[in-house]
Amino acid sequence: MPLMTRYLAYVDRISEEVGKAISWLCLAMILVLIYEVSARYLFNSPTSWAHESTTMLYGSFCIIAGAYTHRHHGHVRSEVIYNLFPTRGKALLDVLTGMLGLLVFGVFFWITANYAWDSWLMREISSKSTWGPPVYPFKAMLPLAIALMMLQSLAHLLRDLAVLFDLQPHHPHIYSAESSTDNASS
């Protein structure tokens, strides 16, 4: 049990810190686009790189943020029927869907890791603009984000199993998965 508690605390930390760190990319996107708009209209010299680099920042920001959202239970779900079940019934449903989800993420990880690896091996260059940056680091964000998502999913699954089998927590932290869905602005 202490091992599991440590795992849970550790994974929550990772998702939290990575999510907080990655959120600053949003500010970087704003800066790049403001630079582009002012370069184009005020100085009449549009850049070749602004749109593509913002797209890369956007893609990396959002995909990595998935695990952070998951840690805060922010992925949209319908709880109309789910809420009719008692606590342990809910835990059983969560264990079933959680295991299925981990399996699918495993497949997803494998496919995207190959996809990114192929791109990396041939040093793939973007052909979308004259700028032509390397694409493989951007593609590598996919397996990385999925790996983070799997760690967080496993943490949720362990918590649900603890509820389902009524394990006495050695540490109250096991149950402290913040259930507040604080996306109060969606």
Residue numbers at the binding site for another protein (CB under 8 A): 19-20, 22-24, 26-27, 29-30, 33-34, 36-37, 51-52, 54-56, 58-70, 72, 74-82, 90, 93-94, 96-97, 100-101, 104-105, 107-108, 111-112, 114-115, 138-139, 141-142, 182-186
Alpha-helical regions (H) of the chain: 2-22, 25-41, 50-71, 87-121, 136-164
CB of 66 vs another protein, minimal distance in Å: 4
Cα dihedral angle (161, 167, 168, 173), rounded to 10 degrees? -10
Q: How far is the CB of 168 from another protein (least distance, A)?
A: 25
CA 141 to CA 145: how far, in whole Å?
6
CB of 157 to another protein, least distance (A): 12
User: Quick one: 115 or 131, whose CB is closer to another protein?
Assistant: 115
**CB closer to another protein out of 138 and 151:** 138
The token pair at 140 is 């590598």
β-sheet bridge partners, residue 125: 134
Question: Taking the complex as a whole, how short is the minimal distance between the CB of residue 6 and another protein, in angstroms?
Answer: 25
Whichever of 1 and 31 has its CB closer to another protein, that residue is 31
Rounded to 10 deg, the angle between the 25-41 and 50-71 helix axes is: 160
Least Å distance, CB 132 to another protein, is 15
Residue 180: which residues within 8 A CB-CB, separation 6 or more?
72, 73
**Burial (0-12, 13-18, 19+ Cβ within 10 Å), 91:** buried
> Which residue, 72 or 171, has its beta carbon nearer to another protein?
72
